[in-house]
Amino acid sequence: MPEGDTIFRAARALNQVLAGRTVTGFTSVFPHLTRVDHHTPLAGQTVERVEAIGKHLLIWFSGGLVLRTHMRMSGSWHIYRPGERWQRPRHQMRILVETAEMHAVAFEVPVAELVTPDVLERSGVIDRLGPDLLAEPFDAREAAARISAGGDRAIADALLDQSAIAGIGNIYKSEALFAARVNPFALVSTLQPQQIARTVEMAVRLMRAAALGGRAPRRVYDRAGEPCRRCGTEILVRTQGPHARRTYWCARCQE
């Protein structure tokens, strides 16, 4: 599943080519996005901005509508010049936003809605999110407090709760805990406040490094069976939590 840094980069790229441009065409396989019963047609409107909030990507239009998409496991946004060959098959297209200069294509995006800002606010989808790791400013104390409230959960599961801290996924869950030397299976209630704060700090540092153009080094994620780059112990992997997400860790560094 794309994590917050991937959504951040996608929104930044889309904003660079779409913001201030006039929409010349809007196509979608989702009927609820293209019906005209209560939606103002998007063609002729201007894209005001594109932003990421947690794992949600929002495109704001001048006519008072917002397109919200969530990538889930396989969705992605691509940018093409008119007439340029797409890198993915057309049957995977879910949304196409056209301007004279660029086309933005959402492939296999499973969640999409076109709503007014008021409806978006009332839905609580965005308001329920915890502090966004990539937001400026980022409220680290609030994030740590929300994580601490899940005392009967393993810290790795608590980090994936988007209502506690928004944007983090399986990769940065494992990497932040390794960097902070915290056992992913420890219950939140057994951890010291400084351990939780350190984990949040590492998550912010790693994700921002990736979001701002680099790529955060992977010390444990997807390295099961390989030696730990810190101590040489074999990296382990185990499914964890209600959705059986994979957790990678070093038993020695994170005991």
Q: Pick the catalytic residue from 2, 131, 173, 184.
A: 2
Q: How far is CA 150 from CA 10, 22, 132, 237, in A?
A: 31, 46, 18, 23
Q: Pick the catalytic residue from 55, 98, 173, 184.
A: 55
Q: Can you name the residues that pair with 249 across neighbouring β-strands?
A: 236
The question of whether 226 is a catalytic residue gets the answer no
The question of whether 131 is a catalytic residue gets the answer no
SS3 content of the chain, % helix, strand, coil (to 5): 30, 25, 45
The question of whether 2 is a catalytic residue gets the answer yes
Vertex 206, ends 131 and 11: CA angle to 5°? Answer: 60
Q: How many CB atoms lie within 10 A of CB 188?
A: 21
Cβ atoms of 192 and 202 within 8 Å: the answer is no
Burial level of 161, CB count in 10 A (0-12/13-18/19+)? middle
Sheet holding 111-115, edge to edge: 47-53, 56-61, 66-70, 111-115
Q: Pick the catalytic residue from 3, 51, 98, 175.
A: 3
Residue 162, both tokens: 């988007």
The DSSP secondary-structure symbol of 46 reads B
Which residues form the catalytic set? 2-3, 55
